[in-house]
Amino acid sequence: MDKIAAALHPLERKVLPHISRVKSLKDLTRASGLQEVEVMRALQWLQNKSLIKLTSETKEHIELDENGKSYLKKGLPEKRFLAALEDKVLSLEEIRKSANLEAEELNVALGLLRGKAAIEFRDKKVALTNQGRSLVKKETLEEQFLNKLSNQHIGINELKDEERFAYDALKKRKRIIQAVQVKDVTAELTELGAKVFGVLPKTRTKNIESGGWIAEPLGPLTPEIIKSGKWKAAAFRRYDLKINVPQISGGRRHFAREAADYVKRIWIEMGFREMKGNIIQTSFWNFDALFTAQDHPVRELQDTFYIKDPAMGKLPDAKLVAKVREAHETGTKGSTGWQYKWNPENAKLNVMRTHTTCLSAKTIAALKQSDLPAKFFSVGKNFRNEALDWHHLFEFMQVEGIVIDENANLRHLVAYLREFFKKMGYLDVRIRPAYFPYTEPSCEVDVLHPIKKQWIELGGAGIFRPEMVIPLIGKDIPVLAWGLGLERTMMEYYQLTDIRDIYRNDLKQLREIKSFIK
């Protein structure tokens, strides 16, 4: 018992002696002289040590609202109305000014007093009746009720008949009283608590500063106490290593950034180099270099964000532009192209990039023969004119990858994808045939959800078409490519059902959500 008593916090030692006499949180706060939050903290600690048993009951209490607190000081509008009249006969405007009433308060007071036959009108002016004169100095039930509320909360179920009448009358009026949910906490000593309470006086130790006696052991050990040697005559509070402590939320990266950094680490460990670039690109790199026809629906305003100022950018080297024009108008390597007149002005239009494949196009165009083979990746934001809902964002992250190698083929592409998703925690990967505008062959990547046991589509892949590769690098060479939506992968990993939850910056979510795969 002595050990338990010696380990009590000062707040616990101030509260524990009173629990045998009073049990409610309000009474304990008053008896101990502590703040309510300090008493509640001490009670929780004592309960963790099995010294007390806490019970709580939520009740509906009545308390003063904004107007009620004001009327408690300056009086209810109807009483100020009566006081302004006394033996006078005044107009409503004169009463309003004399009683300092708002227009709404004047109307309320007028209605109430007429209902009680306390006033009468004489030639458009107001005078007191005999009933009104008797009410001038008499305290009404409503006033008595407000005065009682100024000192305490009153439970709705505890109202007496007269208080119920006043309550019903006041709750019809604006912001005078309000009902609130209040949790009543009561504490009771356990058998162990009673024993510890019984040994508390025995824990007294000599006060090393004054030579007197104190009722509780010392807490912090200061340099002065050590230097003076006074610690030899003192008893110190024991540390309870098992006690619950407040959870501390340290700083951390946003979980979306954690996921992006982890994905980057996967590709770097697999020997890839990162591609970076601006989010504002010309239509040439975002569309034309990818062999997307200039009349393709994806270029319309309903799909793409165009920049107003500056509306146009510059085209790259004229030779490269000519090769891209040729691929569009007449085709390359047996292709017939799109059979239309390519317009360089359309290619100059600035857009917010709709995918990171524009970075792949730029990277391929900058390669020399001596740079091959090569492999690159990017993790970046893209923008599309999408309607925001539970499964679509207009700003999203895409994981892009390319491998440029004379000997690369579809089997290598499948191996890269399987390895990536294995590192992401998905052991079962399925590759299905698909269609994408600038890859042939094309495929979609499905993973088997480890819990739901359902196949989930997470991205697209393929080998870039010759119409795209030849103008950029000068010859037809296999370029493995894939694009994966990071947010969709994150939804599955974090078990989110609404994609918007990734970026809503809820503080509780940011603190408690698990870290991405380490």
pLDDT, tens digit, 9 for 90 and up, residues 325-372: 999 999 988 889 999 999 999 999 999 999 999 999 999 999 988 899
pLDDT at 206: 40
Tell me: do 203 and 319 sit in the same domain: no
Q: Are 449 and 425 in contact (CB under 8 A)?
A: no
Residues 291 and 331 in one domain: yes
Same domain, 216 and 192: yes
- Does residue 218 register a pLDDT over 70? no
Residue 448: CA count within 13 A, CB half-sphere: 7
Concatenated DSSP letters of 427-464: --EEEEEEEETTEEEEEEEEEE-TTT--EEEEEEEEEE
Indicate if 129 and 170 belong to the same structural domain: yes
Check whether residue 122 and residue 270 sit in a common domain.
Answer: no
């458009």: which residue's tokens?
124
CATH number of the domain that 21 lies in? 1.10.10.10
Cα separation, 152 vs 163, whole angstroms? 14
Mean pLDDT, range 469-485, rounded to an integer: 92
- Both structure tokens of 493: 């990993």
> HEC profile for 66-115?
HHHHHHHHHCCHHHHHHHHHCCCCECHHHHHHHHCCCHHHHHHHHHHHHH
Say yes or no: 335 and 309 in one domain: yes
Q: Residues 332, 375: one domain? A: yes
For the chain, what is the domain count? 3
Q: What's the pLDDT tens digit per position in 110-168?
A: 999 999 999 999 988 999 999 999 999 899 999 999 999 988 778 888 889 999 999 99
Residues 214, 132: one domain? no
70 part of a folded domain: yes
One domain for residues 217 and 326: no
Nearest to 484 by CA among 364, 366, 396: 396
Q: Which of these, 482, 483, 273, 466, lies nearest to 373 by C-alpha position?
A: 273
Q: Is 214 helix (H, G, I), strand (E, B) or coil?
A: strand
The DSSP line for 352-372 is E-S-THHHHHHHHHT--GGG-
Report the distance separating Cα 245 and Cα 227, nearest Å.
31
- Classify residue 404 by burial, with Cβ atoms within 10 Å: 0-12, 13-18, 19+: buried
Q: What is the pTM of this model?
A: 0.57
Question: What local confidence, expressed as pLDDT, does residue 200 receive?
Answer: 62
Q: Does residue 243 lie within any of the structural domains?
A: no
pLDDT of amino acid 301: 77
Is 307 contained in some domain? yes
Evaluate whether residue 248 is within a structural domain: no
Q: Domain end: 117, 149, 180, which one?
A: 180
- Asked if the structure places residue 374 within a domain, the reply is yes
Average pLDDT over residues 159-188: 89
Q: Are residues 195 and 339 in the same domain?
A: no
Examine the domain organization and report whether 82 and 195 are in the same domain: no
Mean pLDDT of 36-43: 90
If asked whether residues 88 and 26 sit together in one domain, one would say no
Residue 487 forms part of a structural domain: yes
Residue that finishes a domain, picked among 169, 201, 233? 233
Question: What residues make up the domain containing 31?
Answer: 2-58+183-233
